[in-house]
Structure 1
Amino acid sequence: MRALTIEDLNAAAHVGGVSSLVMRQELEPASGPDGVIAPAKYVDSNGNATYIIEKRYMEGEENPAKVVLIDSKTSFANRAEATTTEAMRNGEGILSKMPHIAVEYDVDDGKNVFYDNQLPHRGFDGHIRVSSYEGESTSKAEPYANARNSTLENLLPLFDLSPETVIFGGWDSTRSKNQLRIPSILVGETYAVLAEQNEDPAIHRAGGRVDPVGASINVDSKNDRVKIVGDSVDLSDKTKASFEKTGKGSTIGLGAIPPSAKKDLLDGVSVRKVISTRVVSFATVRTFHFGKGVEGDAAIRALIIAVLLRDIAGYDANPFIRANCFLSETGKPTVVLNKRYGEKEELEPLTVDLTEKLLETAYAQAHEKAGITWEGQEFLVQGNPAVLANSSAEDDAKEN
């Protein structure tokens, strides 16, 4: 078995090349096959937390198997992007030099800065669009307006300003016209085959909490309620109002909580095996054009592929998903090039060192053939203070 090479990336960047690169890793609960792990939580039509359970074909099995989603496609892309964010913070490697858009918010203890790849819609995100640049609306700024006017026939203005938006995909969905949609090149997910294939597989329970001051704290006096929360600047308005109305200490984190096994509580599932897959679609990236001719465009595509592989390898070096979902690899991953006419070639697993070298070579090539220059250029915009003033963490409690 050989390692992936820059020649592979260059061939994939030209029409007629291989269709995709597939990485597949089997895992198990870190505590052992009898361990319990926490899948991703979603909200159902009634506003209650639920797991995504579905049936899928499993090779070698006659009937579809019931599986649970551990990590979704969009979620995995965000986790992979965190490799770039970490590189920018540490100033390490080619990723740290990637141009980017940054939104800066003034806060009480200084400034908070968010990169485009940290925002939900990347370069098209609302935090950027309603911000200001050099005293005027960012949406009117020439570099940003030109980037938003990019098309799949020429993505260069956007790639110059916010490469991550091109690399990971984006949709300028709030625009009244010329809504650019960039399909994602990377699709990755993690799911698990459930141990329980017939009945409800979810474990319904929640741990208790001991309060050494008092097991039960209920405040009858309205004056005492006001005194307790009156100086608490960190409470949300909703939480504060709820406590002032009911006086229940549990509302603000006071008092003991008994263990519970109510059916609406979700603590995890038992699984037979966990499977993590990633697909990089070369066929998709070949639909991207940059106005640099056949070889120049191909060089930029190879650079895009190299960034994705470096981000994936970075995540795999520290594969954290969420609390109570600790997994360990059961063996080496398989890495397969899907070639034409059903041919496949298995390659060595991707590593940080290998993908960093590929990225260095791909960048040098794109610089020479297409004039791509990455020097850490930052398009810094000032966040709209009205957005920050009206933000709240209330909805975060409902999310995964």
Structure 2
Amino acid sequence: MDAITLEDLLAACSAGGSSLLTVRSELRPGAGDLAGVAPARYVDGSTPTYAYETRWDGNDAVTVVVLDSKGSSGNRVEAPVAQAIRDGHPVLSRVPRLTVTYQGQETLMDLDVPHRWADAHFRAGTIDGTPTTSDPRYRALRDATPANASALLHASPVGLVLGVWDSTRKARQARYRSALVGEVIGIVADQSAQPTPPRRGAARFDTIAPSVRLSGTDLERLVAQQASELSENNLKKIREDIRKAKGGPVSAAGIGLGSIPPSMTGLGFVACRRIVRHHVLSFAALRQIRFGLGVEGDAAARALLAALALNGLVRSNSELALRANCDLIEASPTVIEIDQRQGAVGQRRPPSIEEADDLLEQALVRAERHGVDWHGQTLDIVGDPAVAGGIADDAE
């Protein structure tokens, strides 16, 4: 079976080309069919739950549970690309990007933050001492349109691949849909009833001190020693417990001392009779974007974006790491299909990481002939100190 070629991408990114490329894998629990898996967790009001949906499987409507959502799937494509850039990868390090740095913290890229180039971490910062939103280079990104997205192509192309919405802007909000989307779903084993999230027991056993109850004075002293590292909500609860005790002993569980009795408050595992991971790269979506490079130049730029999407996807799919208790392995070879219009479909062999790198390099060389300039340029933003000072990771 043939591998994906640059000619495939160029043809698909030209008028009348393929609508999309699909990558599909059958997965199964690494521990075997008896193993349950931990789906992605959500909150319904204040109640933790899983996301169940109805899908069509052949001739049957089936209930599925979401193991990895569209948004999470996109993040998993970004993460290995960002790491390769940090590692100095010879091709991926040439991808243009925005960066933001808070004093004393690691520099983040548009591949790291939630809303890519439109993220608040960028908008709240400064460039050369000027507010980011007033800098002409950043304004060019916000003012770009699908009719000419050259500014984005040369500053933050990841948003053109995985989507971005400049949702807080008063007017002229940029919206670019995700050209690459994907998910992992499991067909629930029990199709007999409306599913409810199972519960699982959880506990904490402290071998040194099964129970620790301190005087309010002693607990306040221990809390004060680490107050700067405790969340505000936790601090508030501990001090409220001290106040309510009125001088009596108080549980030290709030600072992690003592056992926690077993309880059925945790979400349990779900049995799936089939697990599917699939991604779709929409050439039709990419063809809606132009870059002012002429017909052939625009097609070459789109092919470059498609090659970047595939590179991130190949790297992401090479690491089957979703979350604890959701360890999966491939159950069959990955299938890649390219729509050839009018009901025809062509198959391609899944590329290796090295082949995906070579494809990206070929696409970059072709795009450079038409004026595309990717040399690892960055738009560097200094994060506002007040934002860094307000960061808090509360348990809930």
Range class of TM-score, shorter chain: over 0.9
Structure 1 gaps, min length 5: none
Q: Show the counterpart of 1:252.
A: 255
Trace 1:194-209 onto structure 2 (pairs within 5 A).
Answer: 194-199=188-193, 200=195, 202-209=197-204
Give the distance between the partners of 2:351 and 2:55, measured in 1 at CA. Answer: 27
2:317 is aligned with what amino acid?
Answer: D
Q: Where does 1:241-390 land on structure 2 (aligned, <5 Å)?
A: 241-246=236-241, 247-262=250-265, 265-369=266-370, 371-390=371-390
Q: Does 1:10 align with 2:13?
A: no
Q: Provide the C-alpha distance between the structure 1 equivalents of 2:173 and 2:197, rounded to a whole number of angstroms.
A: 41
Residue correspondence of structure 1 range 1-400 to structure 2 within 5 A: 1-44=1-44, 46-59=45-58, 61=59, 63-106=60-103, 110-199=104-193, 200=195, 202-219=197-214, 221-232=215-226, 233-246=228-241, 247-262=250-265, 265-369=266-370, 371-394=371-394, 397-398=395-396
Q: Secondary structure at the match of 1:279?
A: strand
Q: 1:201: Cα distance to partner?
A: 5.6
Does 244-253 or 376-385 show the bigger shift? 244-253
Cα deviation digits, residues 131-174 of structure 1 (max 9, x gap): 01111101111111111110010000122111112221101111
Q: Do 1:194 and 1:201's aligned partners in 2 also have CA atoms closer than 8 Å? A: no
Cα shift at 1:217: 1.8
User: CA offset at residue 229 of structure 1?
Assistant: 0.6
1:349 positional shift: 1.5
Alpha-carbon distance between aligned partners in 2 of 1:260 and 1:29, rounded to the nearest angstrom = 26
Q: Output the CA distance in 1 between the equivalents of 2:192 and 2:34.
A: 18
Assess if the C-alpha contact under 8 Å between 2:101 and 2:381 holds in 1.
Answer: yes
What is the rounded CA distance, in whole Å, between the counterparts of 1:37 and 1:359 in structure 2?
Answer: 35
SS at match of 2:76: helix
1:289 to partner: Cα distance? 0.4
Please state how far the C-alpha of 1:207 moved relative to its aligned partner. Answer: 2.8
Q: Is the partner of 2:32 in helix, strand or coil?
A: coil
Number of aligned residue pairs: 386
Given that residues 210 and 259 in structure 2 are in contact (C-alpha distance below 8 angstroms), is that contact kept between their aligned partners in structure 1? yes
Q: Distance in 1 between matches of 2:377 and 2:264?
A: 53
Distance in 2 separating the partners of 1:272 and 1:21: 26
How far residue 87 of structure 1 moved from its aligned partner, in angstroms, is: 1.0
Q: Given that residues 320 and 327 in structure 2 are in contact (C-alpha distance below 8 angstroms), is that contact kept between their aligned partners in structure 1?
A: no
In the alignment, the residues of structure 2 paired with residue 135 and residue 202 of structure 1 have an alpha-carbon distance, to the nearest angstrom, of 51
Whether the 8 Å CA contact 1:192–1:275 is kept in 2: the answer is: yes
| Amino acid aligned to 1:255 | G
Q: Deviations over 1:20-71 (max 9, x none)?
A: 1001100011100111110001110x31110011211101x4x311110000
CA distance in 2, matches of 1:298, 1:188: 24
SS in 1 for 2:359: helix
Task: Give me the whole-angstrom Cα distance separating, in 2, the residues matched to 1:342 and 1:248.
Answer: 67
Structure 2 alignment gaps of length 5 or more: 242-249
- How much identity, in percent, do the aligned residues show? 36
State the partner residue of 2:244: none
